[in-house]
Amino acid sequence: MALLLEQLLNGVQLGVMLFLLAAGLTLVFGIMGVINLAHGSLYMVGAYAAAVTASATGSAILSLLAGLVAAAAVGMALEYVVLRRLYARDHLDQVLATFGLILFFNQGMVLLFGRQPLFVDVPEALQGFVRVLPGIDYPVYRLVIIAIGLMVAFGLYWLIQRTRIGMLVRAGATHREMVRALGVDVRLLYTLVFGLGALLAGLAGLMAGPILSVQPGMGEQILITTFVVVVIGGIGSVRGALFGAVLVGVVDTMLRAYVPGLLREVMAGSEADALGAGLASMGVYLLMALVLLVKPRGLFPAHA
Amino acid sequence: MSIQRRGFLASGAALGLAPLARPALAQGAPLKIGMITTLSGPGSYLGQDIRDAFLLAVEMEGGKLGGAPVQVMVEDDALRPGQGKQIADRFLKNERIKLLTGIVFSNVLGAVAPDVLDAGGIYVSPNASPSNLAGKECHKNFWSIAWQNDSLHESAGQLATNLGQKKMFILAPNYQAGRDAITGFKRLYKGQIAGEVYTRLDQTDYAAEMAQIRAAAPDGVYQFHPGGLGIAFVRQYIQAGLLANVPMTLASPSMDSTTLAAVGDAAVGVNVTSHWNSDFDNAASKRFVAAFQQKYGRLPTYYAQQGFDTALAIAAALKGTGGKVDDTEAFYRAMKPASFESTRGKFRFGTNNHPVQDWFALKVENVGGRPALVTKDRVLTDHGDAYASQCRF
């Protein structure tokens, strides 16, 4: 029972990381209609900026700021220089251009920092464990990730539902032409939304730094799962991204943790392990297929 | 997501070749050697070390190997079997290269090796050596310089047995070399298996596995996760507070000097097995470590050593054939005696062209205030592999 709860927490934590990435991706796609494959690169930029700052200054606060600022700045510059030219083009051109950006960023990181992974320590204050329930000691750092992710989710909800910018964002997602016709500076709005998405990706990246290794290509490992989240949640919907991300995180973790064990009850050990690992890695894609079968536009479609 | 990333000529190749361009012209075209290795994505530092050490060996001989001027062409497979296959195709057909090397990961090798061998080429492996190529599908023109995959894990299994660990939890990624790892470990490990888990090759978060390990409460953990995967795994293992209670026994790919730098002091006490270590006390190894550190400013990993030995082995063979690779039979005869001074000391080829060598226990200790891998006892002597008997050329 304790193990199940711990795995559930692990699933939610993975889900929260996915949410931070998916929120930006889904906003950019929903509002600007751009498929941004380079979203993972912004995650990498955030992670690198934080890692480099942390090793230079030793300050967790400074490295947090550096990661956020770098990701948002690079994101907005990217929108201004490259993506702005892609809004009117078809999806294939967007995919080609943003794929090119992935290569550019990965090679750029290799040139700047080399191929050896960079390392960041968990900040002193967040090391250690807390007893969340009798029998479950959970790392403080992972709990903090969950808390920050949920705070961001509420913050986004407030921003989108309760503020003027949010109103424009919502309007942009559903009635793009009308917003333009009403004289809103859509270009600025787009740059800001893209910057916000980049900021969130950077936040995910800098929080992932102490858990994973910071290295070129780290964004692509998580990007595909992020796309699955966006599709499951409904393209353009931040609420969908939150539910989709937590669903994918929990399902993926649970399958990895329990499928091989369950299969071992019915077949030989090594076969069960290999098959179980295979099934678990297909799990999120099966989930996506299932959701699309029942709700072809995702769980919370934005353009309903 | 199906667009293939185009390979590119790594700048390092050009760098290593610059000094030999002129003398090569005087003696006719240099012998081209094709190197396909992993230079992007997680695990790219493994390919970088193999490439850098190989080019270092060429440079130390003044742009030659075994007296023959060589030109090393380096391409990045990005850990994608399909991409590796395309590069091999281009090397074989367009560049007319007969001698290939460099691949880090067994899944890439699995796609490339058959093409190279079927086209009458020679492949000298500085790292990946899956079980099939050592046994039933062995080939006269396939050479393994590092080890057969299983041997890494057999030595770790033997060490775990020697250390008296009665109940082990074992983990490896779900691909050819991962399955070889689990098989190899179990072959010489005499204790009980508390749990066996296959992870994903693209996995970065191991929280679910950490919880499973804690629940199984084993005496020790054996895990095989090369490169960036291993760094993430060990760090999360420490963050989960497991290393203090459940010791780790590892094979060299899961704890190289780069991993160690990432993990830091927390790794002190971890047991590792390897065929080589940077503190080996023989002339060839000392010369290599010094030259590598001087040129690249970092400690060579096992991968670097394997890349270096691969270049030395090729040099010995080229010396025997007068720098020619067209007659594969002559190359075989010149390569087989392994008449080069290996950085690991003792080295010979078994009947299946795979190494027969000693394996050593290493321990992470605090040396001069920094954690370092220190060589301890011999674990296995003149160890070949379990598949040699199935091999008929």
- Residues A118, B212, B252: CA angle, nearest 5 degrees: 45
Q: Which residue has the tokens 């997602």?
A: A173
Whether B139 and B69 share a structural domain: yes
- Interface check for B296 against chain A (CB to CB < 8 A): the answer is no
- Output the domain CATH number for residue B23: 3.40.50.2300
> CB-CB: which of A3, A117, A280 is closest to B215?
A3
Q: Do B1 and A224 touch (CB under 8 A)?
A: yes
In this predicted structure, what is the pLDDT of residue A270? 67
**Chain B residue with the nearest C-alpha to that of A138:** B240
Percentage of the residues of chain A whose pLDDT score is greater than 70: 98
> CB-CB: which of A213, A222, A256 is closest to B232?
A213
Q: Do A142 and B207 touch (CB under 8 A)?
A: yes
Q: Is residue B171 part of a domain?
A: yes
Whether B317 and B331 have beta carbons less than 8 Å apart is answered as yes
Whether B375 and B293 share a structural domain: no
Q: What is the pLDDT of residues A197-218, one digit of tens each?
A: 999 999 999 999 888 878 888 8
- Among the residue ranges A42-56, A151-165, A265-279, the one predicted with the least confidence is A265-279
Domain coverage including residue B189? 150-274+357-390
Q: Do B200 and A277 touch (CB under 8 A)?
A: yes
- Interface check for B4 against chain A (CB to CB < 8 A): the answer is no
> In terms of C-beta density within 10 A (0-12 exposed, 13-18 middle, 19 or more buried), how is residue B241 classed?
middle
Structure tokens at A229: 């989240």
Whether B134 and B192 share a structural domain: no
Whether B107 and B39 have beta carbons less than 8 Å apart is answered as no
Helical spans, DSSP H, in chain B = 11-17, 21-26, 44-60, 81-93, 106-118, 131-134, 149-162, 176-188, 207-216, 228-239, 257-263, 283-296, 302-321, 328-335
Identify the segments of chain B with pLDDT beneath 70. 1-28, 42
Whether B195 and B228 share a structural domain: yes
- Interface check for B241 against chain A (CB to CB < 8 A): the answer is yes
A110 contact residues in B (CB cutoff 8 A): 40, 44
CA distance A183 to chain B (A): 37
Whether B82 and B124 share a structural domain: yes
Tell me the pLDDT of chain A averaged across its residues.
88
How far does chain B reach from its first CA to its final CA, in angstroms?
A: 41
CB pairs under 8 A between A and B: 115
* Residues facing B173 on adjacent strands: B199
CA distance B25 to chain A (A): 32
What is the distance between the alpha carbons of residues A211 and A208, in angstroms, rounded to a whole number?
Answer: 5
Average pLDDT over residues A209-228: 87
Q: Do A119 and B262 touch (CB under 8 A)?
A: yes
Q: Do A211 and B1 touch (CB under 8 A)?
A: no
Whether B235 and B262 have beta carbons less than 8 Å apart is answered as yes
Whether B342 and B365 share a structural domain: no
**Chain A residue with the nearest C-alpha to that of B12:** A111
Q: How many CB atoms lie within 10 A of CB B67?
A: 12
- Interface check for B45 against chain A (CB to CB < 8 A): the answer is yes
A117 contact residues in B (CB cutoff 8 A): 42, 45, 228, 231, 258, 262
Q: What is the pLDDT of residues A63-121, one digit of tens each?
A: 999 999 999 999 999 999 998 888 888 889 999 999 999 999 999 998 998 887 887 88
Whether B178 and B101 share a structural domain: no
Whether B234 and B367 share a structural domain: yes
Average pLDDT over residues A128-146: 85
Whether B305 and B337 share a structural domain: yes
> In terms of C-beta density within 10 A (0-12 exposed, 13-18 middle, 19 or more buried), how is residue A224 classed?
middle
In this predicted structure, what is the pLDDT of residue B2? 38
Mutation to test the B interface, candidates A215, A230, A255, A275, most B Cβ within 10 Å: A215
> What ipTM did this prediction achieve?
0.77
Whether B82 and B138 share a structural domain: yes
Q: How many CB atoms lie within 10 A of CB B146?
A: 28
Whether B71 and B17 have beta carbons less than 8 Å apart is answered as yes
pTM: 0.79
Which phi and psi angles does B375 have, rounded to 5°? -75, 135
B41 contact residues in A (CB cutoff 8 A): 106, 216-217, 220
Domain ranges of chain A: 2-215
B209 contact residues in A (CB cutoff 8 A): 256
Q: What is the pLDDT of residues A10-43, one digit of tens each?
A: 999 999 999 999 999 988 888 888 889 999 999 9
- Domain total for chain B? 2
Q: How many CB atoms lie within 10 A of CB A289?
A: 10
**Which residues 205-224 of chain B have a CB within 8 Å of chain A?**
205, 207-209, 211-212, 215
B264 contact residues in A (CB cutoff 8 A): 119
Q: Is residue B108 part of a domain?
A: yes
Whether B75 and B178 share a structural domain: no
Q: Is residue B3 part of a domain?
A: no
B288-309 burial, b if ≥16 CB within 10 A, otherwise e?
bbebbeeeeebbbbbbbbbbbb
* Residues facing B378 on adjacent strands: B360
In this predicted structure, what is the pLDDT of residue B4? 38
